[in-house]
Structure 1
Amino acid sequence: MPNHTREPSLTDVAARAGVSPTTVSRVLNNRGYLSQHTKDRVAQAIDELQYRPNQIARSLLGQRTRTVGVIVPTVALPFFGEIAAGVERALATRGYRTLLCNSMGRTEAEREYLDQLRGNRVDGVISGAHNDSIPEYATTQLPVVTIDRELAPHIPNVRADNRAGGRLATELLLNRGSRRPVLFTSTSSTRNLREAGYREVLSEAGIEPLVVTVNFHTPEPERSRQIHAALDQHAAAIDAVFATDDLMAGTVLEWARRAGRRVPDDLRVIGFDGTEAVRRAMPWLSTVQQPIAALCETAVQRLLGLIDSGPSNGPESAVPPAELPVTLIEGATT
């Protein structure tokens, strides 16, 4: 019988289950063929003894810690909060723990977190942060998967079909009668696929695009002040706004209320993301909804596949992004 004055050991579990310590280790690490009867006996012994494997010791032996690092800008933003929660749920169902890191939009903070995660010997990393110039990702031996972020050709990127979403939003505004829709987005570049969809639709309609950038890392109330100032500047010229996140769309609606612009008669507004939190707060907002649960599930599947097979670095192993379909939700704002 084990000594109950100390934590039970793997040897205690083996004795209770009537198997060898090696068999217990194989069950814990899911290695090799084992009968269901043996797995059940070991599981029952673990439960009876309340045995907790020493994760640090296992990592030092080169075994898995069954821990994954998740890096996001901040869970205070609804989209990233729901991404973090969804990834954690998907990992937990597979017996993995999550170490959550908020980069707060700072490149140096993300680099420090990545170094800490390596030090904690996590099995892999899922990154949804939006910082640039982090070369460590391209060289790390850790399996890495990103959500809505391009890091390196060999790092799998799971994202919504942003270009199609940009097209859907812009087409809806034009179909509702708008002829001067402005795009509000975080950064304007060829990598911004929501912007690309917006520009494509306007080009096909012979309409000149108007793009305003307000970085989503800008803290409140400065972010709202910049959005209001840009709307004041272009008020006379625009009749619709496509905001590439719902919080920005909400700020546009607040400006419209203050400016006496009737929505949707004088100004049509559509956002992007469609998180549960914002849908509850603003159920009337038209938006392009991302499949958040599917994004999380796909990212976890991709990462665990890399953990099982080992990452492959280099441009020769470039992998195309996994793009998941979006859903157009029309509300009272269009």
Structure 2
Amino acid sequence: MPSRHEPTLADVAQAAGVSLTTVSRVLNDRGYLSQGTRERVSAAIAELNYRPNQAARALHGKSTQSIGLIVPTVGLPFFGELAEHVEDALAEHDYRIFICNSMGKADRERAYLDLLVSHRVDGIISGAHNENITEYSTVRMPLVTIDRSLSPTIPNIRCDNEAGGRLATERLLSRGARRPALLTSRSGKHNLRETAYRAVLAEAGIEPVVVTVDFHTPDDLRPRLIHERLDAVAQTIDSVFATDDLSAAAVLEWAAMRGLRVPEDFKVIGFDGTAALRRALPGLTTIRQPIAELAYAAVDILLRQIEQAHSQEEQEEAEAAQESLPSPTPLGVELLEGQTA
């Protein structure tokens, strides 16, 4: 009966007729070894289907060739598409990915952060939206965020949210809207899409109307809450700039239920421009984020951090190297023409 245990380094050494040290040198491509020895070890690895123990490599301070990605959920089109592009970008450099869905729960994000650190991944990309996760300040490994500001020393890869917000609001006004509302997840100075919306309306002498439905609202409640909040301001608005496309879809549903023709009676513009929403709602006017470019930029900066950290002998020098990689200039957005605004 064949063995049921995973082959070990010792099994490879025995099959190849060499020492454990020799197998280790072949795996790490270190030291001089004859071509014949390398071929015997490689043949034994293939025959046994040996997989290096990544946890053991981590204990010895070696790269695990793995990266952690924390997102709210890949069930949301933006984060699903983002995760796909991050995985593709990492695969080009022979890295693998652990995808962690926080599901909008701070405790779950903390648990995943602890899991990734304890498994000694080579770096972490965080795109979750929970606030006040102080545990990030204790992370001593390469770290990059996507559209999330944790610290001035942690690179934050994002699109030009302010330019996108201005483009969306100006589009509504140019098409005849005079009372546009903003539908967003959280209102405040950190919301650059809101900042631009308010600035454009101030220039036009129009009072802003801001409607919020929290980002982490359960999927089964979110459309109903959006409808209720819009009902409360329906008499004072003639259009909506939704800061994500799923919310824009809920606005279109609300307008249809109330007999409003889009765009004749009511105008709607979204934000994100994911492939999934463009297929589902090809007529939606929206601001497209460069999702693939965001993913590749995040991976590029993270891998540069990893390379710099590995080149340092002291942790203090590694941290200084990490601080030398500031957030890049926000990436550009574009208007995707549709029939809703």
When normalised by structure 2's length, the TM-score is 0.86
Partner of 2:267: 268
Where does 1:220-231 land on structure 2 (aligned, <5 Å)? 220-231=219-230
- 2: distance between equivalents of 1:30 and 1:259? 68
**Equivalent-residue separation in structure 1 for 2:338 and 2:102 (angstroms):** 33
Contact preservation (8 Å) 1:246, 1:272 = yes
Question: Per-residue CA shift, 1:257-294, capped at 9, x if unaligned?
Answer: 01011100111100001111111100110010111111
**CA 106–15 in structure 1, closer or farther in 2 if over 3 Å, else same:** same
Write the letter of the residue equivalent to 1:175.
S
Alpha-carbon contact 2:305-2:322 (below 8 Å) kept: no
Which of 313, 319, 332 is equivalent to 1:312? 319
Aligned residues with identical type, % of pairs: 61
Deviation, structure 1 residue 96: 1.3
TM-score when normalising by structure 1: 0.88
Secondary structure of the residue aligned to 2:197 is helix
**CA deviation after TM superposition for structure 1 residue 10, in Å:** 5.9
CA distance in 1, matches of 2:31, 2:201: 58
Contact 2:104 2:216 in 1 (8 A): yes
Give the drift of 1:160.
0.9
Matched, 1:181 2:153: no
Matches within 5 A, 1:292-303: 292-303=291-302
1:40-79 aligned at under 5 Å gives the runs 50-79=49-78
Task: Point out the more displaced range, 42-51 or 130-139.
Answer: 42-51
CA contact (8 A) 1:154 1:313 kept: no
Unpaired runs of 5+ residues, structure 1, are none
Query: Aligned-pair RMSD on alpha carbons?
Result: 3.2
State the Cα distance separating 1:50 from its structure 2 match: 3.9
2:115 corresponding residue in structure 1:
116
| Bigger Cα displacement from structure 2, 298-307 vs 240-249 | 298-307
Distance 2:222 2:72 in 1: 16
Q: 1:18 to 1:308 in 2, by over 3 A?
A: farther
Code of the residue aligned with 1:182 in structure 2: it is A
1:184 CA displacement: 0.3
Give the Cα separation in 2 of the matches to 1:138 and 1:184. Answer: 32
The residue type paired with residue 217 of structure 2 is: T
Q: Give the SS at the match of 1:160.
A: coil
Whether the 8 Å contact between 2:308 and 2:322 is mirrored in structure 1 is: no
Taking the aligned partners of 1:92 and 1:315, their CA distance within structure 2 comes to 23
Q: How many residues of Structure 1 are paired with residues of Structure 2 in the alignment?
A: 332
Query: 1:168 offset after TM fit, Å?
Result: 0.7
**CA offsets, 1:40-76, max 9 Å, x none?**
9987885566442221211111101111111001111
Is it true that 1:331 corresponds to 2:338 in the alignment?
Answer: yes
Compute the displacement of 1:304 (Å).
Answer: 0.9
- The secondary structure found in structure 2 opposite 1:300 is helix
Q: Report the alpha carbon displacement of residue 98 of structure 1 after superposing the two structures with TM.
A: 1.2
Question: Taking structure 1 as reference, are residues 31 and 203 closer, same or farther at Cα in structure 2, changes over 3 Å only?
Answer: farther
Tell whether the 8 Å contact from 1:272 to 1:287 is kept in structure 2 after alignment. Answer: yes
Q: Given that residues 159 and 295 in structure 1 are in contact (C-alpha distance below 8 angstroms), is that contact kept between their aligned partners in structure 2? A: yes
Q: Does 1:204 align with 2:203?
A: yes
Residue equivalent to 2:167:
168
CA contact (8 A) 2:157 2:327 kept: no
Q: CA deviation at 1:215?
A: 0.7
SS of corresponding position for 2:319? coil
User: How far does residue 328 in structure 1 lie from its aligned partner after superposition?
Assistant: 0.7
Letter in 1 for 2:92: T
